[in-house]
Amino acid sequence: MFSLLRRTRAAIIAMAAIGALLVLTPSASGADTPATITITDQASCEAVGGIWAPDVSVPIKCQLRAGHTVPTGAVVTSTAPLQIFGGAIVEVQDLTAPSVEISEFGNHLTVTGTLHVEWLTTGSPVVVNELDVRTLSAYRDARVLVTGTARFGWYAGNSIYANNFAEVLMRRLSVDTSINVSYGTTTALVAVCEFDPTRLSPASSVKKDCVGPVATVGDPDGDNGWHKSLQTVTWADQGDDGFAGVGVDAQACETSAASEGEAGELRCADLLGNTGSVTLKIDLSDPTTTLPADGVVPLAKGTPFDPDAHVIFADTVSGIDPARTGCTVTGDLGQAGDHTVDCTAVDLAGRQATASYTVRVEEDEAPDAEASFRPPINADGSSVFKQKSTVPVKVTITGTLGSAAPTFRATRVSAAAGTVNETTVVASTTTGTDFRWADGQWIYNWSTRDLATGTYTIEVLDGTTVIATTTVGLR
């Protein structure tokens, strides 16, 4: 495009217009015959206009011809606002490049006359950030996209006309007075996000789109909303009040998550800059199970055992599900030998891993305890105590006890007893049958108060095994 401050009655008038050279050549006679206007710039744009008579301001049309080489990007590039004055009509046709804009994105286009766009290649809209115009018309599949504000603000009678599948898309529509929006006989679209319907004639002439695109993604194949594989997202635009929307901007839409985890938020924008997002929870990794060293845990027979206490479960993505994670033992741990412990780890996404280790139950050592009586009881059975006294039964034990403490048992075997020859007695008595450990020996204070006189066999037992025996008399 170009910037034009038009002059008249000049045989040859040349001026710079944002990198373009404009040359107007009127007819020799100045009669009402068309003149040729040529714009020379990097885009090799040919323009056609007319000077119908001297001293008369006339419209000018700029038309891009098919077959010309148009570089990808803006037709005319500018870092300053691009302005066309003098009642100009700017016409853009047959854009054949893959991506051609009326100016660089972010520019401001001002046209004091009519901006006319038609026959644009699909997917190559005329894109400006800000547009000031009196009349805007779009024909034959043309697309005009104003990413900022389209302002119609000079005169009453401002208008937008769309026909033959043309689209006019505006983020904001600003109208100082009123604007007439009309359509041809073939389907076309004028869509805006922000606008004042009271300035429109008719009020329902534009579609509203202030809603971002929505995502379609497959149902989670894991638990708790987690996906167990990478997902591809399909985006569809939506508008307000049942309108299908202006369409997504494919270059501004993320369609797949690059990694696993809960932070997989994908975003998409439509052509008017409305955004939508979707958060995916993706877990591609199974949980881990760390087993005991060498995979074997030794266990003494009869010792309590917690199979989970010897394993570490971990999951760095969705986390371990404790309700479904744990170990079980195969077999009876009351039996000596190797037993298998099977472990299953399940994460919150439903991924699982299994592992196993061995618990080795070791045989009890065979008890080999032997007890020896200590004074005041003679091991040869010659001790006689006074009946109703408390007799201290003392023993020392060698070897290994199979029980926690030895026990005492006394049985009367005869009514006769010898002469009392032991006088060592104690005051306290032992309740029950267990010996107690004190002063390096096992002691049981045997009360004979309620026993009859006679000869008694006394025994020291380890469980059910007698490990020492002798006789004692009571007289």
Q: Are 172 and 195 in contact (CB under 8 A)?
A: yes
Q: Compute the C-alpha angle 323/325/329, nearest 5°.
A: 120
Give the predicted TM-score (pTM) of the model: 0.55
Lowest-confidence pick of 38-47, 93-102, 186-195, 202-211: 38-47
Choose between 310 and 101: higher pLDDT. Answer: 310
Q: Which has more confidence, 26 or 404?
A: 404
Hey, how many other C-beta atoms are within 10 angstroms of the C-beta on 202? 10
Q: What is the mean pLDDT of residues 118-128?
A: 63
CB atoms within 10 A of CB 235: 24
Please report the pLDDT score of residue 256 as a whole number.
82
pLDDT at 297 over 50: yes
pLDDT value at 22 more than 60: no
Amino acid at 94: D
* 128-146 mean pLDDT: 83
Euclidean distance between the first and final Cα of the chain, in Å?
Answer: 136
The encoded tokens of residue 247 equal 């369409």
Average pLDDT, stretch 256-281? Answer: 84
CATH number of 288-362: 2.60.40.10
- Residue 390 CB neighbour total at 10 angstroms: 16
**List of residues 6+ apart from 41 with CB closer than 8 A:** 2, 19, 20, 21, 76
- Choose among 342, 215, 360, 238: nearest CA to 294: 360
User: Is the confidence at residue 121, as pLDDT, over 60?
Assistant: no
Radius of gyration, alpha carbons of the chain: 52
pLDDT at 276: 94
Specify the pLDDT at position 120: 53
The two three-digit tokens of residue 114, written as one number: 């009519």
Q: Which residue has the higher pLDDT, 232 or 80?
A: 232
Cα separation, 183 vs 15, whole angstroms: 37
Other beta carbons less than 10 A from residue 74's beta carbon: 21
The length of the chain is 475
> pLDDT tens digits, residue range 338-357?
999 999 999 999 999 999 99
Assigned token pair, 105: 């994105």
Query: What region does 102 belong to: left with phi over 0, alpha with psi -120 to 50, or beta?
Result: alpha
CB atoms closer than 10 angstroms to residue 294: 8
pLDDT classification of 158: cutoffs 50, 70, 90: confident
> Looking at residue 456, what is its pLDDT?
96
**Average pLDDT estimate for 408-426:** 90
Q: What is the DSSP letter of 349?
A: T
Same fold, 288-362 and 370-474: yes
Q: Which range, of 12-26, 333-347, 362-376, 449-463, averages the lowest pLDDT?
A: 12-26
Exposure class string for 404-428: b at 16+ Cβ within 10 A, else e: eebbbebeeeeeebeeeebeeeeee
Given a cut of 70, whether residue 379 has pLDDT beyond it is: yes
Mean pLDDT across the chain, nearest whole number? 77
Residue pLDDT, tens place only, 52-102? 223 323 333 333 333 333 333 323 333 344 444 444 445 554 433 333 334
Which range scores top for mean pLDDT: 7-16, 305-314, 355-364?
A: 305-314
* HSE toward the beta carbon, residue 80, CA cutoff 13 A: 7
Nearest of 319, 286, 292 to residue 307 by alpha carbon: 292
Is residue 27 within 8 A of residue 35, CB to CB? The reply is yes
- Select the highest-mean-pLDDT range: 76-90, 124-138, 236-250: 236-250
Regarding predicted confidence, which is higher, 63 or 374? 374
Beta strands 370-374 and 352-362: pairing type? Answer: unpaired
Contact between 34 and 50 (Cβ < 8 Å)? yes
Top mean-pLDDT range of 75-79, 132-136, 163-167, 323-327: 323-327
Is residue 395 within 8 A of residue 419, CB to CB? The reply is no
Q: Per-domain residue ranges for the chain?
A: 13-208, 214-282, 288-362, 370-474
What does the alpha-carbon distance between residue 119 and residue 139 come to, in Å, rounded to a whole number?
7
- The structure tokens 């983020």 sit at 171
In CATH terms, the fold of domain 370-474 is Immunoglobulin-like (2.60.40)
Between strands 179-183 and 167-175, the pairing is unpaired
- CB environment 96-125: b (16+ within 10 A), e (fewer): bbeebbbbbeebbbbbebbbbbbbbbeebb
Sign of CA dihedral 216, 222, 225, 230: negative
